[in-house]
Each structure stands twice: as C-alpha cells, then as structure tokens.
Amino acid sequence: MDIKSQEYTFGIGENYHLQDLLGSHIDEDGGAHFRVWAPNALNVEIIGDFTDWQSQPITMTKNESGIWYGYSEKAKCQDFYKYLVTRENGQKIEKIDPMATYFEARPGTCAILEKNKKFKWQDSLWMGRRKRFGFKERPVSIYEVHAGSWKRHSDGRSFTFTDLRNSLIPYLKKMNYTHIEFMPLMAHPLGLSWGYQLMGYFGFEHTYGHPDEFKAFVDECHKANIGILVDWVPGHFTQNDDALAYYDGTPTYEYQDPNRAHNIGWGAFNFDLGKNQVQSFLISSALYWIENFHIDGLRVDAVSNMLYLDYDQGPWTPNKNGEHTNLEGIAFLQKLNSVIKTYHPDVMMIAEEATSEIPITKAITDNGLGFDYKWNMGWMNDILRFYQYDPYYKQFDYYLLTFSFMYCFNENYILPFSHDEVVHGKKSMMHKMWGDRYNQFSGLRNLYAYQICHPGKKLLFMGSEYGQFLEWKSEEQLEWSNLEDDLNAKMQYFTSYINQFYKDNKPLWQIDDSYDGIEIIDADNKEESVLSFTRKDKNGNFLLCIFNMTPVERNHFTIGVPEAGIYEELINTEMKEFGGVWTQHNPKTKTREQSWRNYDQTLSFTLPAMGASIWKLKRRLKKKTIKSTK
C-alpha cells in the first residue's frame, strides 16, 4: 500500500499496520525517515544523537493528514532520538515517538533507532496446531507472571527474557501449565505501575531486555507446547508530559471532554476511543504484538473503564442518549475483536471485566463485544470470601460456593486467582485460608481442586502455586526460600500434579460452555458443607467431584451417582505426598442400588477432612432387574 493510501486508512480508522507508515524507518543505504502524527502542533523537529540534540534539530514538514515528515542522512541504528514539539502557545516540549519499538532504559524515554531484522521462527508446528485445534475445547491452565519479579539477580536486577528462557520455561514444563500470561511488557515509565500505565504501545520494555530476546522466549515456549498471553491496556495511558499526553498541545490521543479524558482514580488519561486515528493506533498495536511476537492471546485490561462513563471517580458526562454507557468504547471493542478475528481467528481475546450489564463474550451480531473469554470476577470474590470463613460459619453463607452455577455459562469464563488478589493487604492465597498452617494448606489444595473442576479456564498468579505466605512485592523476587519448608514443597508438587490431571482428563475442559458438561449431584448440603457434582465430556465419560469444606472427616459418606459400577478415587487432596495425612487412597468401591434423590445408585466412601475427592467410573455394571411375580 502506498503512503497516500496508508494516510487515508489512518484517517478513517482502518490502518491496522500503522507502524509501516509512522515512526522511524532506517534506509538500506543509511539515514532514516521519521513520521509522527501531531495535527495541531505549530512545529515539530527531530532531535537526537545525530543532531547533537537541540543544537542542530531537523525540521519536519506537515501534510494535510496532520502527519509531520522528516529525514536525517546521519541517523543510524541504535541512535537515541525524540521529537521536539512546539505547541500552540509557543511552548517547546520533548516527546517520545509513539511508534517506537524500543526505548532507552528508565528513567530515560528516548526512542532507539532499530532495524526491523527478520527473526527465524521455529514454531511452525505449534502455530499449525493452534490454527487446527483452537483453544475452546482444549485445556487452558494459565500461570500469570510479572516478568520483573518472578526471579531477580543477586544484585537486584530484573531477569531479562534470556534469563527467563533458561529458567522460567523449564519451570512451566515442570508445573504442567498450558499457558503463561505476562503482565504488560510494553514500555512504561514506572515499574511500580506493574506495566498498567503505558507509554509505548509498540515498544518492548527495556527492563526485560531486547525485543529479540522475547521472540526467542516465545519460540522456545511454543516448542515446549506452552502458549503465550500478554496483558494489553487500550483504555488509558500514563499522564507523563513527555509521552502521549496532550501530544501536540491539544487533546490528541485523549478525549476532548475533560470529564472523559481524565482518569482520576488511576492518575491517567483515557484514550478517545471514538477518534479514527486512535482506533488505527490501538488496533495496530494489538496486531503488532500478535504478529511480531507470535502472541497467542491478549488480555485486555480494565474493560469496564472503557464501557461505562461513570466508572471512574468524579464528574462524568452522559452519552448522547443521556445514559452512562460509553458508546464509542463499545463500538471500539467490537471493532477490535472483529479485526483481530479476521486476521487471526485462532488468537485468544480475553476481557478483564467485572460487570454484567453488557455481554462480553457474546457474538458481535448478538450485540456482544466478541471476546473469547471474560475473567469471572464474581466467582473469584465469592469463592475467596467463602474459603476464608471459619468452617462453622460456612453453612450460613453456603450460597457463595454454589451461586456461580446459576450463571457460569452466561459468558465464556476464565477463573482467575490473579495478582490483584495478593497485594494491598489482601494477603497471599495461602494466608487467606482458615486455620493453622496445616489447615491453610489443606484449604488451598481444596480450593485449587475446586478451581480445576469448576467449568471455565484457569489462571493462577505466580507464587500461589507453592503457597507463598507473604504478599507479592513487585520490586522483589518471589519468596523461593519458602520451598525449603516441606509443606510448601508438597504444595508445589500438588499444583503440578493437578495441572497434569486437568490436562489428562477431557471431562474437565472439553465442554466448558454449557450445562452439558456438568451435572450437580448435591448443592444443598449446607449443614455438612459438602458439594458434589460431575464433569462430563462429549463421549459421556465423567468424573465425580466432591468437596468437603470443613475439617471433619466423614466416614461412610454417601452420594448418588449417575451409573452403576466400580469407581476409583483418582485425586485425594489429603494424601501425604501432597502435605496431608492419608497414606493410601480410598479403595475401589462398588455402587449400591439405592434410591438417593434423583439417583438409583449410590457410592459410599470416606471423605477426607477439608479435602477434595475426585473419582472415575472404572467399570460399568448392569443394573439389577426385578422380575415380575405375576
């Protein structure tokens, strides 16, 4: 596509590879072209290593599209540069290149001139399988990671992706996760933001190494059959004055209306999602990460903030209908998902969204937003509240455990125990659990077994897999020394074991989007606080899943079961190898012909205290028939 055509599609919001038009482009014969969108600037100049900075700036020329063009024959690969923007009031300010793919190390914000080198990918087998099998009827167990604090060097430096390739990938394989999700990897000026206050939407965060290091990491993950998801923040951006904020001196990327532009709660600016050029910019960013880095999915952060005009603190301006929904935000998200699915239907689009007013994963043709998955924040809040209770009181709020069965297929869900739940005084996952240290680990194993068995894909934040006691600290590495404790080490082994169990058993993931995949046996046993249900696959195979929410071992516990036969216990969360006290499983058990609720077969066994027990039908038996006496 020629430049004029690229400018035209940019202006109508349909340029989805904007990096080919804007940004810096190094010539083969030396020198570099620069293009930046700043429609209301009085003047824009290029400054950098090749201009002795402001002493010899290069003047740029603006065209009718609001794009400034410039060229330097002295510019070369690895030079630092910025744009010097003269605003309407005559103020001059140094600004980042919004299209830069790499920036200098913090606290600097200079863009670095980079050649677009071809990377030799070796993940064709993975990419082919991804296209063929997709992800909806596949196991998805996600390990959520903050790249800067999973592990650190002894001097406190963050690991680069070369370091992570050599250490994190073997760990993912050991722990049997199917996917890893990284908190934002795009350039951000403050590490304490965890990457959620972005500056560079095409730039790889310098702290984590070079972009090619991340490509090598992704390539190695794919060869190990591990998918890569990355958090992406298209709703708001950092308010730092040298970044996108009021780029040309007027609202450029943000809304004109200050009520919509200013995100008071997060100290940020909201993107004007109705502006064509902003749509081109953001959708190009999403496709850039998917295509340039072979990303398998994006988790779109803070979707609620893009859907509701009154989501933030302070005053808000209603839409044209006098309502609180952000019509431009809804249209943008529908457009985003439509474009992504047109180019890459096998890429996973996930929404971090906590309301129920607007359907998130419904088809766009059915007035949904077209996401593949939505984080089930309601389930997460209810379940964590329930598991923290003293066991005696669980019977009174038993609905917290079972309420999700009323709506669990209204959307396609991911069940998240994310970073947000282990910071700001909320305590770590292990520390949330009731009781002494032994019971806390019992509760945690029970909780993770429940997450694995409940319909929906799974996500767990780093450190939670082995029961780290302290809250997550983004400026320090995880408390790996915890693994010197036997209970932590066994907790880690349990998580690895149950992740593999999840992958190996189709009933736990093949039907995750309808009641065809689950049958509730007993969701009313409040007095004993025991829940039981089956998970089923398309061939009629099923698993019995029973959860005891109190520290009381229940001998001769009886439930109804769908079929007569001999059942085998596959998982008992109170086994000694996991940190419990049981040295052997319940024996294989034959059903008894007996009426129990809607069932005519029952199974009796010992239900472990504060434990989960998962069973499989080992051998079917014919039901007895009663001969007529007539």
Active site residues: 301, 352
Q: Are 34 and 60 in contact (CB under 8 A)?
A: yes
Start-to-end CA span in the chain (Å):
87
Query: What letter would DSSP give residue 207?
Result: G
Here the tokens at position 389 are 């209770």
Question: Would strands 262-263 and 67-72 be described as parallel, antiparallel, or unpaired?
Answer: unpaired
Classify 93 as helix, strand or coil. Answer: strand
d(CA 253, CA 258): 13
Half-sphere exposure of 234 (CA within 13 A, CB side): 30
How buried is residue 36: exposed, middle or buried, by Cβ count under 10 Å (0-12/13-18/19+)? buried
Bond from prior residue into 184 cis (ω within 30 degrees of 0):
no
Q: Which three-class secondary structure string do you get for 131-181?
A: HHHCCCCCCCEEEEECCCCCCECCCCCECCHHHHHHHHHHHHHHHCCCEEE
- Rounded to whole angstroms, what are the CA distances from 587 to 266, 562, 584, 615? 55, 20, 8, 11
What are 565's strand-pairing partners? Answer: 620
Q: Are 140 and 148 in contact (CB under 8 A)?
A: no
Here the tokens at position 301 are 């952060």
d(CA 87, CA 104): 25
Please name the helix (run of DSSP H) or strand (run of DSSP E) that holds residue 497, with its range, or none.
helix 486-504
Classify 506 as helix, strand or coil. Answer: helix
Q: Are 14 and 280 in contact (CB under 8 A)?
A: yes
- Rounded to whole angstroms, what are the CA distances from 375 to 110, 181, 187, 409? 36, 13, 25, 13
What are 557's strand-pairing partners? Answer: 605
Q: Which three-class secondary structure string do you get for 267-305?
A: CEEEECCCCHHHHHHHHHHHHHHHHHCCCCEEEECCHHH
Using alpha carbons, select from 81, 63, 50 the residue that is nearest to residue 21: 63
Put the strands of the sheet holding 554-560 in their side by side order. Answer: 554-560, 599-607, 592-596
Q: Is 399 left (phi over 0), alpha (psi -120 to 50) or beta?
A: alpha
Classify 452 as helix, strand or coil. Answer: helix
Classify 114 as helix, strand or coil. Answer: coil
Q: Are 350 and 298 in contact (CB under 8 A)?
A: yes
